[in-house]
Amino acid sequence: MIIRSVVFGVLASALVAIAASQAQDNRTLLESKESLYNNIYVYEQPPYVSMTFGHNRRIYTESVYNTRDDRDLPVSYTRFMTASLMYAKDVHSILEIGFGGGRTAWYLHRFLPNVPVTSVELDPEVLALAKKYFGIRDEPNFKVVNRDGRLFLSESKDRYDVILIDAYRGPFVPFHLLTKEFYQIVKDHLAEGGVVAQNVEPSTMLFDSAVKTINAVFPQLDFYRADGNIVTVAYDGPERKAEDLAAAAQDRDKTYGFRYSLADMLNERRRIQIEGGSVIDPKAKVLTDDFAPVEALKSIERHNRKMP
Amino acid sequence: MKTSSRALAFLIYCCSFVVGGVLMGFEMLGSRYLFPYFGGGIGTWASLISTVLCALAIGYFAGSAMVARYPSPRTIATAILIAAAYLALVPGTADGVMSQIMDSIGDGPSATLIASTALLLVPLTLLGTFSPIAVSLLTRSAEEAGRIAGLVYGVSTIGNVVGTLLTTFVLIPTIGSRAITYIFALTLALCAGVLFLPAARRRS
């Protein structure tokens, strides 16, 4: 009797949950694919197409594409990834690690058609779906490589002016893309005056460790808040002065005619005290190939700590 | 005589648990050694798991071949001690070996398999010889064989479970993977020591 009522209770609550999610969800599923690495769902909600990972579709949206406008960046953090362009000494080559639906890479390609843009994506199914639904085409100066990001860099002899890292997403955090050794490899592939921009999710203790780890390799670290995410821009050498950045932003806005103006983004720039400050947990450790408990850190929420 | 053989049986079951734990714990650790070089995908896991199972198969066969000739606790103690020594060498040499493999073979399935073989095959094969020899040491009559084999495999499988969970959820989040490797080596060496003891005592 007790068992039966438990079963009914579970069934009833499951039905309520399904009804609630259906009421909220007016997207159509275009395609779902189980790849080696992810469960991928592509949804359409005109004019947008979105790529999501995992079953919890509200949380793990990876990429949103405006089918009527391929220069639109509907997801706020992807715009701030381009803030890196006002830091780089030159803009002769751009690398992205973590292609997904390819919005950031494609945006940069459209506004800088003469600059080679290379993007590395681990999951071949993600690439196939991006080509099918996200308006990604083969074009000169635009290259997508199907490879693990760290492997690609380790084997590459090229150097880049801008490296964008957006490889850990949804529930999957590959620890080998978050260690000091990894950032050292990244640094070795930066041209002189080059910069690294990275998307970091700030709600767990993994954020504190990630910031400390990036900072262990790159002495300069700027922060840009973008809705639920934070974009960090990291570089070597002395701190770039605000007026120099403003001049570079204005200059590049004019040269390339960016839709999302670098000068506007500069207003959102934040610097924080990393060591001994109140934002980053002083006990947070630098992650290394030897010690990188990313899953455990990701499960600890950041309580009572300000965002940068 | 009877108490000493009962004590030996207890030791063997304890070691069976510990060896099972280290075995799976080291498989989980293997991922931390391999991922930075060969990526963190399902392919690397497939290489790790198949290498572990190959090692166990070879270990079982080797154990069953050795058991007729050397049926003593010293045999398994020696195997465990060599495995411990191998593990103790891993932290210092793994990075060199992994990058060597990557430079010469690349990062495809064959490279990943060779890397996991280099890392896991020798120690886990040696640990794999434990169960068949343990079963034969614990069995005194033919009708006992099934019961003893079941007990040994049951105990060692519980060790597998504990080793997997402890390594993943406790050890990796608190101390580095190199330190864990040294702890495993030390644990195995202790097991070997414990198994050498009764043999030494009997001789004296």
B48 to chain A nearest CA, in Å? Answer: 16
User: Per the CB < 8 Å rule, is A293 touching B35?
Assistant: no
Q: Which of B107, B112, B166, B181 to mutate to test the interface with A (most CBs of A within 10 A)?
A: B107
Chain B partners within 8 Å of A174 (Cβ): 35, 39-40
Cα–Cα dist B171/B168, whole Å: 6
Cα–Cα dist A121/A129, whole Å: 12
Residue A275: inside a domain: yes
Q: Which domains does chain B have, with CATH numbers?
A: 2-203 (1.20.1250.20)
Q: What is the DSSP string of chain B?
A: -HHHHHHHHHHHHHHHHHHHHHHHHHHHHHHHHHHHHH-SSHHHHHHHHHHHHHHHHHHHHHHHHHTTT--SHHHHHHHHHHHHHHHHHHHHHHHHHHHHHHHHH-SSHHHHHHHHIIIIIHHHHHHHTHHHHHHHHH--SGGGHHHHHHHHHHHHHHHHHHHHHHIIIIIHHHS-HHHHHHHHHHHHHHHHHHHHHHHHHHH-
Q: Residue A1 — pLDDT band, cuts 50, 70, 90? A: very low
Q: Residue B114 — pLDDT band, cuts 50, 70, 90? A: very high
In the prediction, which pLDDT does A15 show?
46
Pick A308 or A289 by higher pLDDT. A289
A290 interfacial to chain B (CB closer than 8 Å): yes
Q: Which of A154, A178, A209, A291 to mutate to test the interface with B (most CBs of B within 10 A)?
A: A291
Contact, A225 vs A270, CB < 8 A?
yes
In the prediction, which pLDDT does B38 show?
85
Q: Is A305's pLDDT higher than 70?
A: no
B173 interfacial to chain A (CB closer than 8 Å): yes
**How many H helices and E strands in chain A?**
10, 12
Amino acid identity, position A250: Q
Q: What share of chain A is helix, strand, coil (3-state, %, to 5)?
A: 35, 25, 40
End-to-end CA, chain B: 15
Query: Left (φ > 0), alpha (ψ -120 to 50) or beta: where does B27 sit?
Result: alpha
pTM: 0.83
Chain A partners within 8 Å of B172 (Cβ): 293, 296
Q: Is B199's pLDDT higher than 90?
A: no
Average model confidence (pLDDT) across chain B: 92
Residue with tokens 């648990």: B17
Q: Residue B200 — pLDDT band, cuts 50, 70, 90? A: low
pLDDT tens by residue, A240-251: 999 999 999 999
User: Per the CB < 8 Å rule, is A291 touching B40?
Assistant: no
Residue A111: inside a domain: yes
Cα–Cα dist A233/A87, whole Å: 8
pLDDT tens by residue, A50-61: 998 875 545 578
Cα–Cα dist A135/A140, whole Å: 15
Residue A44: inside a domain: no
Contact, A206 vs A297, CB < 8 A?
yes
B169 interfacial to chain A (CB closer than 8 Å): yes
What is the 8-class DSSP label of residue A227?
T
Burial A118-133 (b: 16+ CB within 10 A, else e): bbbbbbebbbbbbeeb
Beta bridge partners of A45: A48
Nearest chain B residue to A176 by CA: give it: B36
User: Which of B32, B41, B102 is nearest residue A122 as measured by Cβ atoms?
Assistant: B41
The count of domains in chain A is 1
pLDDT tens by residue, B131-174: 999 999 999 998 999 999 999 999 999 999 999 999 999 998 88
Cα–Cα dist A188/B184, whole Å: 35
A294 to chain B nearest CA, in Å? Answer: 8
Amino acid identity, position A296: A
Q: Residue A125 — pLDDT band, cuts 50, 70, 90? A: very high
Kindly give the pairing relationship between strand A160-165 and strand A94-97.
parallel
Chain A partners within 8 Å of B174 (Cβ): 293
Domain of A199, CATH number, reads 3.40.50.150
Residue A253: inside a domain: yes
What is the 8-class DSSP label of residue A7?
H
ipTM over 0.95: no
Residue A24: inside a domain: no
Residue A249: inside a domain: yes
Domain that holds residue A192: 76-298
Residue window 27-56, chain A: list those with CB within 8 Å of chain B.
36-37
Residue A287: inside a domain: yes
User: Which of B36, B42, B176 is nearest residue A291 as measured by Cβ atoms?
Assistant: B176
Average model confidence (pLDDT) across chain A: 88
Long-range contacts of A108-114 (CB under 8 A, 24+ apart): A108/A82, A109/A139, A109/A141, A109/A142, A110/A70, A110/A71, A111/A71, A111/A256, A111/A257, A111/A258, A111/A259, A112/A256, A113/A141, A114/A141
Please compute the mean of the pLDDT values over residues B13-35 and round it to a whole number.
95
What is the 8-class DSSP label of residue A287?
-
Q: Which of B31, B33, B37 to mutate to test the interface with A (most CBs of A within 10 A)?
A: B37
Structure tokens at A41: 């769902």
Least confident of A75-84, A135-144, A299-308, B40-49: A299-308
Please compute the mean of the pLDDT values over residues A155-184 and round it to a whole number.
89
Amino acid identity, position B78: T
What is the 8-class DSSP label of residue A204?
B
pLDDT tens by residue, A223-239: 999 988 899 999 999 99
User: Per the CB < 8 Å rule, is B173 touching A296?
Assistant: yes
In the prediction, which pLDDT does A171 show?
61
Q: Residue B204 — pLDDT band, cuts 50, 70, 90? A: low
Kindly give the pairing relationship between strand A94-97 and strand A117-121.
parallel
Helices B177-203, B2-38: inter-axial angle, 10-degree rounding: 160
Residue A65: inside a domain: no
Q: Residue B6 — pLDDT band, cuts 50, 70, 90? A: confident
Kindly give the pairing relationship between strand A117-121 and strand A142-146.
parallel
Least confident of A59-63, A284-288, B14-18: A59-63
